[in-house]
Amino acid sequence: MVFILLLYISAACEFSIDFSQCHESTIAALITPKGCYGNKPWAIQNLPCDYECPAGERLDINLNASSLICTPCQENTYNIGGGITINSWSLHRHDFSSFCSVLIGKSWKKGANCTTWHASSDEILISGTTSINNWYAADLFLYPYLVKPGKVKLIYRREVSGQGNFFIYIDNLLQYVDMESPSYEWFTVDIPLDPGRHEIQIAFINYVTDQISEIVIKEIQIRGTEHAAYTCLPCANGKSTKGADECLHCEMGSYLDDKICKKCPYGTTSLPGSADILDCYKLKNCTVLDFHYYFSECRYGMKTKFYEWNYPLMCNNEGITLPNMYIMPCGNCPLGKFYNETYCEYCETGSFIVDSSPGKKCLECPEGKYSPKMLAFTDWGVIPDQFNTWCMSVKNTICSFGWETRGTFIITSPLYERESSIYIETTFEFIEKDSYFSYNFTKTSGTNFIVYVDGIVKDSYQNQAGGLSQHSLSPGNHTIKWLCKHSISSYEYCSLSEILFHGTRHGGSAACIPCKDGSISKGNQQMCTACNAGFTSNLNHTLCIPCPSGMVSKESSKCSLCPPGTIPDSNSEFCTLPELLVINNKTFQIQKLRGKIGNPSDYCKEDRMLKYCYGTFFGPSLHKDSIFYISFVNPSEIKMPNYAKVSNMNAYAFGIFPKNSLTLTEIEYLELEDVCSEAHDKILVNLGSELSLVNTTNLGFMLEYSNGDCCDQNKKFTTKIEFICDKYEKEGWPFFLHETNCEIVFAWPTIHACRMCSDEDLIIHKGECKDGKREIHYYESEKCVFANNTGFVKQVEKCEEESVIMSWPFLVLVLVSVVLIILVSVVSIWIFKVKHTIVLSQAKLSVRSSRAFEEINSDR
């Protein structure tokens, strides 16, 4: 048996070793050979639980002696020798507890209206906060049990403008304090711990102001909770040598050698993350490309031109001196600034400067015009305070190299990790309607240059080597971010030179431009003042004047004509229908359906309509997952605070849609504060803010509401309603028919869509004349109604009972009789005449024959 064992141990076999749990102070090891000895595993039992291995070594088995040994970790692996590492924060964790307190009066109140330590991403634990002007404390507790001497190790960073104190207590004794000013650097704290149970308290105490002040923790390690580690872990970030208890990412100019970073030999340097002296390379001599110039601020007419080495310096500048700085006249001030005899400053609000050369003053912007402000960033001596720059490695950890200044432009650091992302970001408040920003850039081919506004991609350049870009912005706060994403190749950069923001709240003005129609200025204004709805500006934009009759205007806009058939409301704010709608010679009586402007329809005052009206709207009218509310030419503000909505315009009709049913992904909506609200996945959409068409149809009339919220890139929502004459419906109801091309069509049967009867429409029924009177009934035809809903009108007219002689059947009879008599007499006369002739001729014949007979007889 021993022989066989030795045989296969000497053969180059590999084994995997699994240890059991500690049971009655012993553990067992299961040894599984790989690819030899029939792959048959065996176990070694009764090994001691308390065999210790230091950090950087793992518990192993000496197969020759069947005993425990420690084996150092291989290159680029590590372990902490038995302990806990907490560096993933997004899951709910049981291995620590945390809470926060607020100082109320003289005592700290636990859990009072504050947030405690929480995960901001999986990599980061962040201290919480409370409302401003309060003392705040966040505590994090761990209770580890150490079986051998160990330590607690913490990697943290202070964020931004950090005030506040950071403490670590062990068993109620203060072991570490940080009251330093903030820095982007990560700090590592090591505090030794004896064996036994400990209480570790990690505390951040801060007086909360409007400035962000936080502690960010990346990792907490507690070493010594186990006698030994069973495995070595691969390095996630950085590198390690054999037997390492951590992975290191050495800075530029250094390399990893036996668990520490060492400086490269003189005259050489290295890229960050190097792990071998061979990675150190000789620096080339510096050239003019390795330094740049920048200007000091202009003072007393002069400014200084300074030269400085690029940072980080990638060349050997030994023996090379920079050109001397020199003093020169200021020249022009930057856009929007004037030279006040000592230095450049922004023009006062409402004044502007076009020629900003020394001696020129800011000009007053006269009435009718205004001077919008702008901010120009063209000098890059330092990264301005308003900008933030940072770097993210491909593994989403912060890296050290951001954008660097080069005096007249900024550029991404020549040193970077492959595939890392280099950001620069800024936030400004814009107040102009036509705000925009522009920048120009250059880049090398491998990089991907992306520009975001409020997190939405606006530009993305892969192949273009440079250019100028401009984007419009809506009023409000906007965060603009430029990202240079490196590829795997080296020697890449992106640069930005001229960044301009137009329409900002702060800054200076370089223009004086006429107010837009519907707004006015009294002079020296940064913004024009809006005219109220129903008013517009005069030609000179100096006064608000009411809209001419027949026209309407919304706030700060031109007056526009109401479409044919419609009229302005009494305030000239919007178009509606007259009480008697007359169009194409048809008259409709609609006042009851509409109600008073701004008030619900008259029908809505009836109890039965309680659930079917909402302000001036009829609804809810349902279709699938959508809900509609439709007014009859009576727009109003939508008051439904439970729903997120796109705009605040008055609406003639609106809908509540599931958010995912909207095709527009870039839709900007006013988000709800209560994210738990049931209505959170719904959005309220204005389906028409203008009455744009009224016309008759075969069945009644139709209306069109247009200019609702955006529906897709080019179109806005429109609503079309077909009113159908239906004498059996009073107010009726809007029914969804279909939606095509952002137009939603409804059918609305109601008696109000039946035209009023005209004379040609009447069906007349006259009664008989009795006692000199006759009833005439005028009936409505199928498609029209009487104003008073009577259905028919009765009129009585006088008449005379007519004599029989005068009645036409009698006349006809007489006529026919006369004609008949004449006819009969003519015929009888004619018959008489014919008969007489026959008789005569017979008589003549008989006379002749008698004569002849006489002659015959006489001849004889």
Contact positions vs ligand NAG (CB under 6 A): 9-10, 62, 64, 113, 131, 285, 319, 340-342, 345, 429, 440, 442, 466, 468, 476-477, 497-498, 538-540, 542, 584-585, 695, 786-788, 790, 793
**What is the rounded CA–CA span in Å between residue 623 and residue 626?**
5
CB 651 within 8 A of CB 635: yes
Q: Supply the minimum distance, in Å, between the C-beta of residue 397 and ligand NAG.
A: 29
Q: Supply the minimum distance, in Å, between the C-beta of residue 89 and ligand NAG.
A: 23
Q: Which is nearer to ligand NAG, 305 or 777 (CB)?
A: 777
Q: Supply the minimum distance, in Å, between the C-beta of residue 430 and ligand NAG.
A: 9
Q: Which is nearer to ligand NAG, 617 or 705 (CB)?
A: 705
**What is the rounded CA–CA span in Å between residue 630 and residue 632?**
7
> SS3 for 827?
helix
Q: Which is nearer to ligand NAG, 440 or 677 (CB)?
A: 440
CB 401 within 8 A of CB 415: yes
Q: Supply the minimum distance, in Å, between the C-beta of residue 320 and ligand NAG.
A: 7
CA nearest to 622, candidates 663, 662, 656 = 656
CB 460 within 8 A of CB 435: no
> What distances in angstroms separate CA 756 from CA 159, 325, 586, 731, 734, one per listed residue?
75, 91, 7, 16, 22
CA nearest to 465, candidates 478, 482, 446, 451 = 446
Copy the structure tokens of residue 604: 């809505």
Q: Supply the minimum distance, in Å, between the C-beta of residue 388 and ligand NAG.
A: 15
CA nearest to 401, candidates 422, 382, 380 = 422
CB 507 within 8 A of CB 336: yes
Question: Which residues are within 8 A (CB) of 804 and not within 5 positions of it... i.e. 6 or more apart?
Answer: 810
> What distances in angstroms separate CA 859 from CA 848, 851, 856, one per listed residue?
16, 12, 5
DSSP letter for each residue of 38-60: GG--EEEEEEETT----TTEEEE
Q: Which is nearer to ligand NAG, 258 or 341 (CB)?
A: 341
Q: Which is nearer to ligand NAG, 325 or 582 (CB)?
A: 582
Q: Which residues of 284-304 are buried (b: 16+ CB within 10 A; e: fewer)?
A: eebeeebbbebbeebeeeebe
Copy the structure tokens of residue 507: 């800054």
Q: Supply the minimum distance, in Å, between the C-beta of residue 71 and ligand NAG.
A: 9
**What is the rounded CA–CA span in Å between residue 240 and residue 257?**
9
Q: Which is nearer to ligand NAG, 22 or 431 (CB)?
A: 431
Q: Which is nearer to ligand NAG, 189 or 283 (CB)?
A: 283
CA nearest to 114, candidates 90, 130, 135 = 130
Q: Supply the minimum distance, in Å, between the C-beta of residue 81 and ligand NAG.
A: 20
Q: Which is nearer to ligand NAG, 582 or 852 (CB)?
A: 582
Q: Which is nearer to ligand NAG, 642 or 697 (CB)?
A: 697
Q: Supply the minimum distance, in Å, between the C-beta of residue 291 and ligand NAG.
A: 16
Q: Supply the minimum distance, in Å, between the C-beta of residue 410 and ligand NAG.
A: 13
Q: Which is nearer to ligand NAG, 108 or 786 (CB)?
A: 786
Q: Supply the minimum distance, in Å, between the C-beta of residue 564 and ligand NAG.
A: 6
CB 504 within 8 A of CB 431: yes
Q: Which is nearer to ligand NAG, 251 or 379 (CB)?
A: 379
CB 500 within 8 A of CB 439: yes
Q: Supply the minimum distance, in Å, between the C-beta of residue 328 and ligand NAG.
A: 20
